[in-house]
Structure 1
Amino acid sequence: MAQIAGRKSLTKRVEKLIEPLGRDGFSNINSTLYIKANGRSFAYETFGDSKDCPLFLVAGLNNQLVRWPVAFCEALVDKGFYVVRFDNRDIGLSEWFECSRAPGLARQFMSKFLGVPVTLPYTLDDLAEDIVSILDALEIPAAHLVGFSMGGMISQIVGGRYPGRVLSLTSMMSNSGAWGSGGPTLRVALQMIKRPSKTKSAVDNSVETLQMIGSPKYPVTDASLRAMVVAEAKRARNPYSYFRQMAAINVAADRSNLLRSLKMPVLVISGEDDPLVQVSGGIETALHIPHANLEILSGVGHDLPKPLLGDIADMIAKNAIQS
């Protein structure tokens, strides 16, 4: 309880520094619910009728649930889904790992490629088990999973290890974990590991990165990105979760064999111009799943362009209806 109280105190301090923006299209703090799963507290929000078919949105690296736009959630509700978006462990209003540090990058890659033992705060497998535990806690036998980036990786693991809990799977802007496929460009890789500029605020640094990985065909203003970053900061800002979640990704095993075992309907969506998880990641993922549908979005980077939210919801619904 002290940990949660501390997080609320941090949120209040952040809110004093940020001008209230009202409804921003991303968050609605009054709708946040909490549930105990896998021994931890998780924050979640729901959209639609609980009697409809459940669909879980699994967020990416260091992304809170508000990264899933309300308009996208509502578009999925219009398709007949009961939508659940939640904060992964160690992010947002879910329980944090404040006393655990991630190993350094050198140690992570020595573990990945040389098998050097390394202790992580948690793994992608742990994040996958969280989803199954949340399903149990909500008394949902099975759900459609839609994962973005790291969320796609987590969803793949759930589909492979708990196939009875996944009705359909959509892996967006993600990869299979195979070396040399779906990695970042050099420019973006350097951006992701560089020290934040001391002459810019944390918000400005985040906006700079989001612009770098965004969709060239669907540009977004700095003001819009700032609103999204502020929406997250107003809820809770945990800068160290980035390093812990990045370590889980870097040390994760190749999922190629796991992907070959998938039997549920699978949709793979990739941005043709994604510089963070390049399109080769989606192509290679789909190659391991003979029945998968692959959609490559022209002019799209590592984001969800507002003009395409309805189209993406359509793709997800068409895949889900096959289950």
Structure 2
Amino acid sequence: MNSSTPSFSAHHPVRTGNANVNGITIHYQDEGYITDPAMILIMGLGSQLTLWPAQLVDNLISEGFRVIRFDNRDIGLSAVVSNGVRADLPNSMLRSRLRLPIESNYTLYDMVRDTAELLDALHIDKAHVVGASMGGMIAQLFSALYPHRTLSLTSIMSTTNEPGLPLPRWDILLNLGGFGVKKGHDKETAVMRSLQFWKKISSPKFPTPDDEIITRLQSDYDRSYRPASYLRQSHAIIATGGFKRLLSRINSPTQIVHGSSDPLVHKKGGIASAKAIRNAKLELISGMGHDFPKQLIPKLTELIVFNALQAAR
């Protein structure tokens, strides 16, 4: 069952709704003309669909794509998903390094199925698939498991998730574990804590002013604030483990994009994806971190669109 509310932006139609997929409710925003080729954008860990830069979305629609964004399970306006498994990240990371099994509320494979069933709900057979960070992992897995539905793949600031790849920078790991950060869940505390984190992972060559980050974080807090979901999604990444072995199944045009200065997902993760996927193109952007600075939106648009156009050849 799928319910949507149509509206119009200044330039194109917008359809917002909730789809019942994979036993849960997923909130989505579907923009552009339904006769245009579909492009689904998959966001990363703990982030809502609103983190996709509006200018990037507008650019892609102007280039002739129907753009679908959605809140992953457990985030934003989509369903909370918990079966009671405690997200013990330090223990799970250790077990991952030792290649031991990990129990979790869900894995990235469940999120891949969410994506596939959302496309079903929107009556979309094939799509260009774009993912960022954790969303890039989901996009890679989708393209490997549903090659017949993938027109092209663009994976940004992501990885094959193999246990032997470099971990995030130590100070970021401490922040992720809740060390050295101010506690509390009121709006001001949560926003300032997130600001501290975003400044650590942002692009050193393309800085974003604090006030712009704060405005976005305040808006996201008002839309939805679920700190426990962030832990469950982190746990899902660890529990999924490496998937390099599956990437040889991908046969669509593939563009891997990574920042040379990414302190959260090391560039070796992106390089590993590019090596594992047949004929993948790799773009290492000097001075880019783990964010979407507005200075790079034209470049990202160009990379995504050029790769998508290869599918028509």
Common fold by TM > 0.5: yes
Q: Contact 2:147 / 2:252 at 8 angstroms: preserved in 1?
A: yes
Q: Contact 2:153 / 2:254 at 8 angstroms: preserved in 1?
A: yes
* Structure 1 counterpart of 2:307: 319
Match of 2:279 among 266, 291, 296: 291
- Secondary structure of the residue aligned to 1:201 is helix
Distance 1:106 1:198, change over 3 A: closer
Match of 1:61 among 41, 45, 54: 45
121-130 or 43-52, larger mean C-alpha shift: 43-52
Q: Which amino acid aligns with 2:55?
A: A
Partners of 2:231 and 2:247 lie apart in 1 by: 26
* Structure 1 counterpart of 2:93: 109
Give 1:179 shift: 2.4
> Is it true that 1:156 corresponds to 2:144 in the alignment?
no
- Secondary structure of the residue aligned to 2:227 is coil
Partners of 1:210 and 1:175 lie apart in 2 by: 19
Give the TM-score taking structure 1 as reference length.
0.87
Give 1:290 shift: 3.4
Aligned residues: 294
267-276 or 220-229, larger mean C-alpha shift: 220-229
- Secondary structure of the residue aligned to 2:165 is coil
Partners of 1:152 and 1:298 lie apart in 2 by: 19
Give 1:113 shift: 3.7
The ranges of structure 1 where at least 4 consecutive aligned residues each deviate by more than 6 angstroms after the TM superposition are none
Partners of 1:230 and 1:71 lie apart in 2 by: 19
Q: Contact 1:111 / 1:251 at 8 angstroms: preserved in 2?
A: no
Match of 2:60 among 76, 80, 93: 76
Partners of 1:76 and 1:130 lie apart in 2 by: 23
- Secondary structure of the residue aligned to 2:35 is coil
Partners of 1:45 and 1:285 lie apart in 2 by: 28
- What are the superposed Cα offsets for residues 129-160 of structure 1, whole Å, 9 maximum, x if unpaired? 10011011111001011000000001111111
Structure 2, unmatched stretches of 5+, are 1-13
> Is it true that 1:188 corresponds to 2:178 in the alignment?
no
Question: What's the C-alpha RMSD, in Å, of the aligned pairs?
Answer: 1.7
Q: Which amino acid aligns with 1:146?
A: V
Q: Contact 1:66 / 1:231 at 8 angstroms: preserved in 2?
A: no
Q: Contact 1:109 / 1:250 at 8 angstroms: preserved in 2?
A: yes
- Secondary structure of the residue aligned to 1:321 is helix
> Is it true that 1:306 corresponds to 2:291 in the alignment?
no
Partners of 1:173 and 1:184 lie apart in 2 by: 12
> Is it true that 1:255 corresponds to 2:243 in the alignment?
yes
Q: Contact 2:128 / 2:153 at 8 angstroms: preserved in 1?
A: yes
Structure 1, unmatched stretches of 5+, are 1-29
Match of 1:197 among 161, 182, 192: 182
- What are the superposed Cα offsets for residues 204-254 of structure 1, whole Å, 9 maximum, x if unpaired? 000000011000111111111111111211111111011100001112221
Q: Contact 1:174 / 1:182 at 8 angstroms: preserved in 2?
A: no
- What are the superposed Cα offsets for residues 19-46 of structure 1, whole Å, 9 maximum, x if unpaired? xxxxxxxxxxx96321111111111112
* Structure 1 counterpart of 2:111: 127
The percentage of aligned residue pairs carrying the same residue is 37
- What are the superposed Cα offsets for residues 74-106 of structure 1, whole Å, 9 maximum, x if unpaired? 011111110001000000000012563433124
Q: Contact 1:144 / 1:169 at 8 angstroms: preserved in 2?
A: yes
* Structure 2 counterpart of 1:16: none
* Structure 2 counterpart of 1:230: 218
